[in-house]
Each structure stands twice: as structure tokens, then as C-alpha cells.
Amino acid sequence: MGLRTPLALGVLISGRGTNLQSILDAIQQERLNAAVKVVVSNVAGVSGLERARTAGIPTAVVNHKSFSGRPAFEQALVQVLREHGAEWIALAGFMRVLTSEFLSAFPGRVLNIHPALLPSFPGVHAQRQALDYGVKFSGCTVHFVDEGTDTGPILGQAVVPVEAGDDEDRLAARILAAEHRLYPEMLQAIAEGRVQRDGRHVQVLRSDEIPTARTR
Ligand code: GRF
């Protein structure tokens, strides 16, 4: 998989962690040149933490409720991520909005996956929003995180058709399968130095388009 050093990832979760699992599986299967340095959850006892432990990855719980306010919570997150050597941050079902307090610690290095084709249906219950609106296609989006809710520059999207008879669960399951493909692919593009960003515009180059000696 080339001579580059693995992408040093910190993964932030709040729940079941199936996207985390897709990242761990991709690493194990050598489709993703990365190392998950730590998995941090803001909620204790979630199954995503168990997935990390099973894979032998350090975990931490940083409960937002234990802090006086957002800045202190975010400083604690940054500290634990830095302690473990995380350089790139993947949000994977992390249910807190992050401010510049956090984002400035990892400038341009925080990614998220969202279960809709942004800018449509940001925020929670994206699949239900899509069904309620009556769109024929939805999907998922991997984007850089900025201070808005699901507003950052888009790296990649996958389209998922809405089918007759879909309810929220059926559509969510089909979108989730697409998420599990897209997130590791986008992370691998970063690992290979194939992502070029110019303001809101992000280009993911093909392997044969990488300029030589390009850094991440
Ligand atoms: C996914 O649908 C993701 O797009 C959204 O939250 C959900 C997390 O699921 N941000 P999981 O915890 O990765 O299973």
C-alpha cells in the first residue's frame, strides 16, 4: 500500500459505531492505510467502545455532562486525542457540534459522515427528513467539519435511491451500507495524499493523478 506513514486517526463516536467498524475492517483488510490511535465517546457504555476494545484499540470516555461548558469539554477531547497521537479526526456518529475550540487544534483535519446528500437534510433524522420531503434519491456525504452543522466542504458522496415502501429504517439501512464503503475510501484518499482542497472545493484525485512528493 505504498511507503507513506499510516494516517494517525482519532475516531469520535456516541453510539453503536458501525462506521468505526467499517474503518477498522478496512485497515485490517489493507484497504486503508491508517491506524486508529484512540476511540473517544462522549457517552459511556456504547457498543462502539466495545468494538474498539475488541480490535485492541485504546478507548476513552469524555462525557460532555461532566464539564462546566463546551470549551472545557472540547479541551478535554483535544487533550486525549493528542495524548494518543491522533492527527486526523473522524467523527463517526458523534452527536455533539464542535466549535473552533476543537477545530483549531486539528485545522482542516476533522471529517464527518452524514446520512444524506448535503446540503439537503443536515442535522438529526436525515433519513426521515428525506422521506418526509419525498426525494427519489438520498445517500451519504463525507465532508470536512467546520463550525456549522454539516456545512463543511464536501469530499465525497454516494447516492442511494429511495424505493417504494421505504420506511426510515429500510432507507437508513441502505444508506448505512453506502456509508461503510464511502468513509474508508475517502480516508484512504487522504492517506494517499489524493485530496486537494481549495476553500469549499475539494478534489479527490485518482491514484495516477497524484503530484509527486505531495504531502497530506
Ligand atoms: C450514521 O448514520 C452516520 O452517518 C451518522 O450517525 C450514524 C452513526 O452510525 N453521523 P454508527 O454509530 O456509525 O453505526
pLDDT in tens, the chain (216 residues): 457 899 999 999 999 999 999 999 999 999 999 999 999 999 999 999 999 999 999 999 999 999 999 999 999 999 999 999 999 999 999 999 999 999 999 999 999 999 999 999 999 999 999 999 999 999 999 999 999 999 999 999 999 999 999 999 999 999 999 999 999 999 999 999 999 999 999 999 998 887 665 667
CB 187 within 8 A of CB 32: yes
Q: How far apart are CA 12 and CA 7, in angstroms?
A: 15
Residue whose C-alpha is closest to residue 28's, from 48, 6, 61: 6
Instruction: State the pTM of this model.
Output: 0.96
In testing the pocket of ligand 1, which one of 12, 19, 25, 145 has its CB within 8 Å of the most ligand atoms?
19
Q: What is the mean pLDDT of the chain?
A: 96
CB 158 within 8 A of CB 178: yes
Q: What is the pLDDT of residue 80?
A: 98
Number of other CB atoms surrounding residue 158 within 10 Å:
18
> Which residues are catalytically annotated?
114
Q: Exposed, middle or buried: residue 55 (CB in 10 Å: 0-12, 13-18, 19+)?
A: middle
Q: What is the pLDDT of residue 208?
A: 86
Ligand 1 pocket by Cβ (under 6 Å): 13, 15-19, 48, 92-93, 113-115, 176, 179
**Ligand 1 atom 8 nearest Cα:** 93
Q: Which ligand 1 atom lies nearest to the CA of residue 19? A: 13
**175 CA to centre of ligand 1 in angstroms:** 10
Q: What is the pLDDT of residue 30?
A: 97
In testing the pocket of ligand 1, which one of 113, 124, 154, 187 has its CB within 8 Å of the most ligand atoms?
113
For 167-193, what is each residue's pLDDT tens digit? 999 999 999 999 999 999 999 999 999
Q: Exposed, middle or buried: residue 159 (CB in 10 Å: 0-12, 13-18, 19+)?
A: exposed
**213 CA to centre of ligand 1 in angstroms:** 35
**14 CA to centre of ligand 1 in angstroms:** 9
Q: What is the pLDDT of residue 48?
A: 98
Q: What is the pLDDT of residue 21?
A: 98
